[in-house]
Amino acid sequence: MGSAAGTTPQAPTDLSAVKPEDMPTAVRMRRLEQKTQALKERAWQLKARVQMLKEQMLGGGVGAQAMIAHANDMGTSFRLTNVTYTLDGTQIFTRADDTGETLYKTGSFDVFNGPIAPGNHTLTAVVTYRGHGYGVFEYLSKYTFTSRGGTTFVAEEGKLTKVDCRGYEKGGANTPMEQKAAVECKATQVAPQKAPEAPTQANPGTTPLPAATTNTTTGK
């Protein structure tokens, strides 16, 4: 009697060696979903890392607070195109408008509002403008003007530090255009107001007036 021929099992297909166009549609979709999910997880990890570093730099969760705002007080000859703020060397805000058609219309906007580590801090602002003019002054649109400014301040535990910055035109009618753009920042510390004390048994129904607790200083 002749022996029956044995069946040799086929080796599993190595999908890594198969071209994407030769794969079944379901397999291609599955691999695409896996790659997409891996990219999402990577992006989430990077975002979490950046947030952690930012909290370490700014001291998230501590008692000091900071509120930073920018005001655009430039004249009609300047169109705001870019604003960048850094705090202690870390960029905390940037906004750009390469067309110079929308950002200049915003009178003011918040730069930062949140917890900050108590101690000394350095705030730096870099603002870029594009020239704007009509008729014989239309040539101004070919030029850009960059100004730098900022301030140093001390954030105290339990207090709010307000930093108001503005871009403005310095000088007068005879000041060259390239020297007019300027940025100044002023810091003010405010102590939080205490809540009125509750009525005591000795004086029922009497609420004493709250004492003034605001302490304002100006940083240069």
Residue 83 shares a structural domain with residue 131: yes
Read off the pLDDT of each residue in 12-19 and give the average, rounded to a whole number.
Answer: 56
Task: Verify that 38 and 134 share a domain, yes or no.
Answer: no
> In this structure, what DSSP letter does residue 15 have?
G
Q: Does 74 share its domain with 156?
A: yes
Global pTM? Answer: 0.57
The answer as to whether 200 is a domain residue is: no
Structural domains counted in the chain? 2
Q: Tell whether 203 is covered by a domain.
A: no
In a domain, 12, yes or no: no
20-71 per-position pLDDT tens digit: 666 677 777 777 777 787 787 777 667 666 665 555 555 544 579 999 999 9
Task: Note whether residue 9 is domain-resident.
Answer: no
Residues 36 and 69 both lie in one domain: no
Rounded distance between C-alpha atoms, residue 167 and residue 176, angstroms = 17
- Same domain, yes or no: 35 and 119: no
Are 103 and 125 within one domain?
yes
Do 101 and 138 lie in a common domain? yes
Of the candidates 51, 184, 63, the one whose C-alpha atom is nearest the C-alpha of residue 114 is: 63
* Amino acid, single-letter form, for residue 123: L
Report DSSP letters for 24-52, one per residue: -HHHHHHHHHHHHHHHHHHHHHHHHHHHH
- Reported as a single tens digit per residue, the pLDDT across 103-112 is 878 888 999 9
* Structural domain for 139, as ranges: 65-195+213-219
Strand partners, 59: none
Residue 208 lies in a domain: no
**Range from 42-46, 138-142, 176-180, 189-193 that averages highest in pLDDT:** 176-180
Assess if residue 23 is contained within a domain.
yes
Residue whose entry in the numeric block shows the structure tokens 């379901």 = 26
Residues 100 and 47 occupy one common structural domain: no
